[in-house]
């Protein structure tokens, strides 16, 4: 979890735009920026496995509509995996988002968190790599591939 902690600290530094981090990150829990609160929750998750705060911060970040917050909220959900619970209602609408990076990250979070093969199959079918941006389209295609593979996998091979 050390690399995860470092990732969230780096993101926090980036979103603070050069302002130093306080010695006590808990002072940022009430920051007005959902992406700052999300990064703090990511650090806490990496340090202690505090999933409930991470789930809540990810949901708030995604609902904020702020591009960075949505993308990083999906990253945190993907890190949480199935511990995140039922994220389908939270990210489903993002699978058709006009921003391909948002779309791909939402799909990848769904892949990491959802175990319902029908949902995974349907999500893969919804994804369209039609952004005209090579990076966005590659991310969407990769996420769709992972969703399809997960939907086809047999958990109990004989």
The predicted model gives 141-145 an average pLDDT of 97
What mean pLDDT value characterizes the chain?
Answer: 94
**Residues 75 and 17 occupy one common structural domain:** yes
**Residues 26 and 51 occupy one common structural domain:** yes
- With contact defined as beta carbons under 8 Å apart, do 129 and 141 qualify? yes
**Residues 90 and 125 occupy one common structural domain:** yes
**Residues 72 and 97 occupy one common structural domain:** no
pLDDT tens sequence across 49-101 = 989 999 999 999 999 999 999 999 999 999 999 999 999 999 999 999 999 99
**Residues 92 and 77 occupy one common structural domain:** no
Structural domain of residue 46, as residue ranges?
1-84
**Residues 108 and 91 occupy one common structural domain:** yes
Total domains present in the chain: 2
Q: What local confidence, expressed as pLDDT, does residue 158 receive?
A: 45
Cα(36)–Cα(45) distance, rounded to whole angstroms? Answer: 14
**Residues 50 and 97 occupy one common structural domain:** no
**Residues 4 and 72 occupy one common structural domain:** yes
Last residue of a domain, one of 84, 104, 138: 84
Last residue of a domain, one of 50, 84, 118: 84
**Global confidence as pTM:** 0.92
First to last CA, the chain: 34
Cα(50)–Cα(64) distance, rounded to whole angstroms? Answer: 22
The predicted model gives 145-153 an average pLDDT of 95
Q: Would you place residue 155 in the very low, low, confident or very high pLDDT band (cuts 50, 70, 90)?
A: low
């Amino acid at each position: 979890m050390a690399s995860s902690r470092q990732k969230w600290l780096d993101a926090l530094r980036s979103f603070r735009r050069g302002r130093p981090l306080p010695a006590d990150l808990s002072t940022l829990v009430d920051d007005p920026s959902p992406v700052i609160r999300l990064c703090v929750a990511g650090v806490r998750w990496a340090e202690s496995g505090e999933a409930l705060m991470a789930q809540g911060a990810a949901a708030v970040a995604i609902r904020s509509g702020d591009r960075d917050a949505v993308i990083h909220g999906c990253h945190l959900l993907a890190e949480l995996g199935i511990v995140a619970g039922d994220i389908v209602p939270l990210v489903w609408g993002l699978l058709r988002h006009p921003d391909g990076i948002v779309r791909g990250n939402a799909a990848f979070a769904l892949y990491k968190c959802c175990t319902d093969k029908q949902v995974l199959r349907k999500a893969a079918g919804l994804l369209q790599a039609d952004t005209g941006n090579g990076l966005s389209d590659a991310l969407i295609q990769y996420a769709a591939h992972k969703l399809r593979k997960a939907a086809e996998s047999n958990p109990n091979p004989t």
